């Protein structure tokens, strides 16, 4: 499929499920970006889940987000149990303008949902000339060190660094677990084993069975350090944003429970309000010290490289995905 076909398929599938045109378009663009960057676990694989959630009421397909600005540098969005992407879009202009006016600003969302690839939102801030820090929490799937009961989600965080030319010089995007849960979901769908050290079963023992892992907990990256970062994200994306805790959120997969009601927190810094042009010179020097080393890679470079190949070769969709999307019987 071409990327345009990916976008159209996602758009029409979501509209057919009951999403409004604007909401479907925002999520379809996210799907387009995921497939463009070769991040298959957040691309077309998720579209049937999104559609299912609109139909069953876990997501309000025609929700209209409500934006408020209680402080000059604070923008809050009530997503109204709709998709996160249009809610982020709704608060974006006020948020980025506040960052330019004040030097720094924060955007939070509550009554929200899965926001897709967090790094894309960080990259968007970088393209707007802002240094962006992004946080989102998820239904609990990571247990504290020494425990077996999950207390936080995979809780990703991302950093987008502007290059001063309308692009991003670096994008860091990682979850606090060894691997994103969507990767285990994808392996389970394809009947494949997962890698050792990715997850634990319900008994707290390591497992390579994806189905067992989905009933257990994810392994935190770096042990107690990963759990600490997960709690940091939880405080920002859940507690500060006014969203539910990860332990209270319904799953992002399946139809159990009502809307997840999760949240996000984005922080934007305008370099002009701090070190000015010196910021970009320092960043360039920093990245050069990485790229000058044989075999070293700046975070985000692989995604950029994937874009060129995807745009020329297209997106391959296996039979299982074609069936899930209604392309074949």
Q: Write out the two tokens for 81.
A: 């149990």
Q: Of the residues 35, 123, 183, 234, which is catalytic?
A: 183
CA separation, residue 282 to residues 65, 75, 135, 236, 285 (Å): 38, 30, 25, 28, 5
Beta carbons of 201 and 217 less than 8 angstroms apart: no
Whether the CB-CB separation of 212 and 204 falls below 8 Å is answered with no
Distance of CA 302 to CAs 2, 39, 168, 204, Å?
20, 11, 13, 34
Candidate list 42, 53, 81, 120, residue with the active-site label: 42
Q: Report the C-alpha gap between 167 and 151 in whole angstroms.
A: 36
Phi, psi values for residue 294, rounded to 5° = -60, 125
Could you please report the per-residue DSSP string of 39-60?
A: -GGGTGGGHHHHHHHHHHTSS-
Q: How far apart are CA 115 and CA 175, in angstroms?
A: 13
Would you state the structure tokens that stand for residue 314, as one six-digit string? 């297209």
d(CA 122, CA 55) in angstroms, rounded, equals: 30
Question: Of 20, 26, 30, 41, which one is the catalytic site residue?
Answer: 41
Among this protein's residues, is 68 annotated catalytic? no
Return the residue matching tokens 């139809």: 255
Burial class (CB in 10 A: 0-12, 13-18, 19+), 112: buried
41 noted as active-site residue:
yes
Residues noted as catalytic: 41-42, 183
């Amino acid at each position: 499929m071409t990327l345009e076909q990916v976008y159209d398929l996602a758009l029409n599938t979501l509209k057919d499920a009951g999403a409004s045109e604007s909401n479907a378009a925002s999520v379809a663009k996210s799907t387009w970006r995921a497939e463009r960057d070769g991040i298959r676990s957040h691309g077309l694989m998720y579209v049937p889940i999104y559609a299912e959630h609109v139909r069953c009421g876990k997501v309000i397909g025609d929700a209209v987000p409500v934006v408020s600005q209680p402080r000059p540098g604070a923008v809050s969005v009530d997503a109204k149990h709709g998709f996160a992407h249009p809610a982020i879009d709704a608060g974006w202009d006020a948020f980025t303008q506040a960052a330019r006016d004040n030097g720094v600003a924060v955007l939070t969302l509550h009554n929200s949902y899965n926001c897709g690839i967090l790094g894309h939102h960080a990259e968007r801030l970088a393209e707007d000339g802002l240094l962006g820090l992004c946080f989102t929490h998820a239904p609990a799937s990571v247990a504290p060190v020494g425990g077996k009961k999950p207390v936080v989600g995979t809780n990703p965080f991302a950093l987008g660094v502007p290059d001063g030319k309308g692009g991003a010089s670096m994008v860091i995007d990682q979850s606090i677990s060894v691997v994103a849960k969507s990767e285990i979901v994808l392996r389970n769908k394809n009947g494949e084993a997962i890698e050792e050290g990715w997850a634990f079963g319900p008994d707290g023992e390591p497992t390579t069975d994806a189905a067992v892992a989905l009933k257990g907990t994810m392994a935190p990256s770096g042990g107690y350090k990963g759990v600490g970062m997960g709690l940091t994200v939880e405080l920002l994306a859940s507690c500060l944003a006014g969203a539910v805790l990860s332990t209270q959120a319904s799953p992002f997969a399946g139809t159990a429970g009502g809307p997840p009601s999760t949240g996000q927190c984005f922080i934007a810094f305008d370099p002009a309000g701090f070190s000015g042009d010196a910021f970009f010179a320092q960043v360039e020097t920093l990245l050069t010290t990485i790229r000058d080393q044989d075999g070293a890679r700046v975070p985000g470079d692989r995604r950029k490289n994937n874009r060129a190949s995807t745009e020329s070769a297209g997106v391959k969709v296996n039979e299982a995905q074609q069936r899930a999307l209604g392309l074949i019987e």
